[in-house]
Amino acid sequence: MEKESRTIVFASHNAHKTEEMRRICGERFRIVSLADLGCDTDIPENGLTLEENAEAKARWVYERYGMECFADDTGLEVDALGGAPGVHTARFAGPECDARANVDLLLERLRGVSDRRARFRTVIAHMDTSGVLRLFHGTAEGSIAEARRGVAGFGYDPVFVPEGSVLSFAEMGADEKNAISHRGRATAGLITFLQSTLSPLT
C-alpha cells in the first residue's frame, strides 16, 4: 500500500518557485500552491525584513484556510549597493517590473564596480495546523556576474555565481542548484523538521 503524501500549502503564486519547492520536498509531502486552492489574492508584503514578510504570508494563508502552510521571502544582498535590493528584491526596478528589468537595473548599478560580492538569503515561515510558527534560514554566498549567463532558473539566477563555482545558478541543473542554493538550504531545515513530525505509519 502506497504511503499517502502530507498536503502542505506553499503561499506563493510563483509557478517556478512552486516547482522548485516540490522538487526539493520530494514525494512525502504534497506541495500545493495558492493557485491550486483557487486563490488569486496578492498577499501584502509590507514587512521591513524577510522574516516579517515570510511570517505575514504564512499567517495570511493559515487564517483563511486553516491548513498547514509555509511561505518564503528571499532577498539578494549586494555589498557594493549597501545590501540592496534586499527586502525589495522582487520589486527592485519598480512594482510593475519583471525579472528582466530587475536584472537590467542591477547590472547597470554595478557597471564598472569591481566589488561584486553578494548573497541570497531565504527565510521560510512554517505554520502547523495548530498555528505554531517556526522560521528556517538559508544563505548562499557568491558574486554578481558582469552579464547574464545560462537559461535555466528564474529571477536573478543568470547573474548570480555561487561561491566555489564558476557557473551561474542559471547554468546549473536543478538538482545541482538546489543542493547549494539559499532556498534549498532553508527548505532542508524545513524538511528535517517536517520529517521529525511524521508518524511511523506515514
Across the range 5-25, mean pLDDT stands at 89
Specify the range with the lowest mean pLDDT, choosing from 101-105, 133-137, 166-170, 191-195: 191-195
Tell me the pLDDT tens digit for each residue of 61-97.
999 999 999 999 999 999 999 999 999 999 999 988 8
| 115 a catalytic residue | no
Is the pLDDT at 198 greater than 70? The verdict is yes
Across the range 155-177, mean pLDDT stands at 96
Contacts of 49 (CB under 8 A, 6+ apart): 87
For residues 128-153, one letter each, b for 16 or more C-beta atoms within 10 angstroms of the residue's C-beta and e for the rest, the string is: beeeeeebbebebebbbbeebbeeeb
Contacts of 109 (CB under 8 A, 6+ apart): 81
Among 36, 40, 42, 73, the one annotated catalytic: 73
What is the predicted pLDDT for the residue at 1?
Answer: 37
Across the range 35-53, mean pLDDT stands at 92
44 pLDDT tier (thresholds 50, 70, 90): confident
Tell me the pLDDT tens digit for each residue of 119-130.
999 999 999 999
